[in-house]
Structure 1
Amino acid sequence: MLNNTYIHIPGVGKSLEQKIWAQGIHTWEEFLELEEKILIPPARKARICEEIKKSSEHLASKNYCFFSQCLPSAEHWRAYSAFSDSVAFVDIETTGLSQHRDKITVVGIYNGKESKTYVRDINLDEIVEEFSKYKLLVSFNGARFDLPFIKSEFPDIEFNQLHIDLMYPLRRIGYSGGLKNIEKMLGISRSEDTEGITGFDAVRLWKNYEKRGDQEALDILVKYNKEDIVNLKTIIELTYPKMVEKALRG
């Protein structure tokens, strides 16, 4: 979808992008090949051509920072297929909802093949180096919760990557509510150990581990977190075609 995209180009909004698509021009290559036939004022068309060439170079070099800065944040999902080879599916557990009063207990990162877990007072500091490895982050409600929470505890993390907060593109294609509700809508099941566990239960599990040394409670919490991040990949793989279809329809 990224090389079907024009709204990252200065002066191009969704209405002009839709006008381009309506003329049967979808990819950047098609725009350059059929430039003479496209019904757009010549000066604007020339600027778009220059920006397409620049964008193609940045995409070829996998320059995620370029697209992170020029794509509207609500449209970062369009870059998924182009950068899915360097993706981190992210979810955190905390002691509460306030990044000022509460603290992170667990951070889960899944690269599409392997999941890694970072636990407070064990290896949580390692997330600073781990996040630097990725060009694209995928979360659910991460723009408002996960990433600001992490940033408050680890200000050295830049978070200059592309970031897909799945909550918003999912809502546009009819999947609303919390993550667990969307999982059910898509037929994704949880393990017996974590079925029915909520964010409030995650807080309780951490307290049982922290205050009582309950290792089983921590194990369940970690398993719950791992299912969150693994399921994020399943969700985007199932719904991405619908996101593309919705965007192209306008």
Structure 2
Amino acid sequence: MLQRTFCHIPGIGEVTERRLWERGVLTWEDLSRGAQGGGNGALWRDEATMSRERLLAGDADYFGERLRPGEAWRIFPDFRDRVAYVDIETDGGPGQVVTAVALYDGKTARTYARGRNLEDFEADVAGYDVVVTYNGRCFDAPVLERGLGVRLPRAHIDLRCVLGRLGITGGLKTCEKHFGIDRGELDGVDGYFAVILWREYEHTGDEAVLETLLAYNAADVIGLETLLVHAVNEALLATPFAHLYSLPVPTPGDNPHTPDTSVLRRLAGRYLGGRHGGWNRRKKTRGETF
């Protein structure tokens, strides 16, 4: 799909891109040898040539810097084997101290915890050309750079922007439910609960609490590829190329950590009482008590 994309070129927006497709200008090669664009024709031909060169060089950042956030999904098919799905947790304080990070590459999920191996994340994520997050442009990326000095790739697919363009809004868990992704025992656990888990771990050093936090963090990344492929397939329906580039939807990856339900029950009862709208209430409907 990227080689049929023109909306990253100066002077070409979505309307002009569609008109070019309708005229049979379907690839960069078509654009570079055609007579489209009037006074912009020479610029468009040069940009099409540059786009081919940058793709051959594997320069995902070139496209990440030029595509609007809602159109960044177009990068994915050509760089799928070089994508890192990333999510962070913080301590909930005003300084937003990073407590845990999860990284998934479509096969294996890895986690990093403060005081353990958090410093390893920078070198690991540097091995990828594209990053996928949910709301990471506004949160994860700036917090990682400010707190850890880690810069994510400029080729950044923020699913909040991509799904929002498709009319699918809400938080990550809401979007997962829209596509039938089930978190099992972690269903209803949210970012606020993750803060509680970290503070409990800091206070007690209980490994079961940390394991539960890391399981939640990993759950935030192992479904991102599934969401992204759903988004790519839906976005393709608005182009003439769905029959060429639609992808089979993968299942979420394996979580390397196991949440401790006794930890979840204990902390929900202690800190959330009957006010928690997610995990607490779900468990009560099954006849469980805290």
Match for residue 205 of structure 1 among 197, 206, 212: 197
Looking at structure 1, the residues matched to 69 and 162 of structure 2 have their Cα atoms a distance apart, in angstroms, of 11
Looking at structure 1, the residues matched to 61 and 225 of structure 2 have their Cα atoms a distance apart, in angstroms, of 22
2:145 matches 1:151: yes
The match for 2:78 is 82
Looking at structure 1, the residues matched to 17 and 222 of structure 2 have their Cα atoms a distance apart, in angstroms, of 34
The match for 2:129 is 135
Looking at structure 1, the residues matched to 96 and 108 of structure 2 have their Cα atoms a distance apart, in angstroms, of 28
Looking at structure 2, the residues matched to 21 and 149 of structure 1 have their Cα atoms a distance apart, in angstroms, of 40
Looking at structure 2, the residues matched to 53 and 125 of structure 1 have their Cα atoms a distance apart, in angstroms, of 40
Contact conserved, 1:18 with 1:248, CA < 8 A, in 2?
no
Kindly, what percent of the aligned residue pairs are identical?
A: 35
Matched residue type, 2:132: V
Contact conserved, 1:167 with 1:176, CA < 8 A, in 2?
yes
Looking at structure 1, the residues matched to 155 and 93 of structure 2 have their Cα atoms a distance apart, in angstroms, of 24
Higher relative contact order (Cα pairs below 8 Å, separated by 6+ residues): 1
| TM-score, length-scaled by structure 1 | 0.89
Looking at structure 2, the residues matched to 222 and 158 of structure 1 have their Cα atoms a distance apart, in angstroms, of 22
The match for 2:279 is none
Contact conserved, 1:7 with 1:14, CA < 8 A, in 2?
yes
The match for 1:44 is 40
Q: What value does the CA root-mean-square deviation take over the aligned residues?
A: 1.9
Tell me, what secondary structure is at the counterpart of 1:109?
strand
Tell me, what secondary structure is at the counterpart of 2:238?
helix
Contact conserved, 2:87 with 2:103, CA < 8 A, in 1?
yes
Contact conserved, 2:61 with 2:154, CA < 8 A, in 1?
yes
Contact conserved, 2:144 with 2:151, CA < 8 A, in 1?
no
The match for 1:20 is 20
Contact conserved, 2:72 with 2:162, CA < 8 A, in 1?
no
The match for 1:61 is 57
Gaps of 5+ in 1: none
- Once the two structures are TM-superposed, the CA of residue 247 in structure 1 deviates from its matched residue by 5.8
Larger gyration radius, structure 1 or structure 2: 2
Looking at structure 1, the residues matched to 93 and 128 of structure 2 have their Cα atoms a distance apart, in angstroms, of 26
Do the aligned partners of residues 7 and 239 (structure 1) sit closer, same or farther apart at CA in structure 2, a change above 3 Å counting? closer
- Once the two structures are TM-superposed, the CA of residue 78 in structure 1 deviates from its matched residue by 1.3
The match for 2:90 is 94
Looking at structure 2, the residues matched to 215 and 154 of structure 1 have their Cα atoms a distance apart, in angstroms, of 24
Matched residue type, 2:159: L
Query: Paired residues, what number?
Result: 241
Looking at structure 2, the residues matched to 106 and 158 of structure 1 have their Cα atoms a distance apart, in angstroms, of 16
Looking at structure 2, the residues matched to 246 and 148 of structure 1 have their Cα atoms a distance apart, in angstroms, of 32
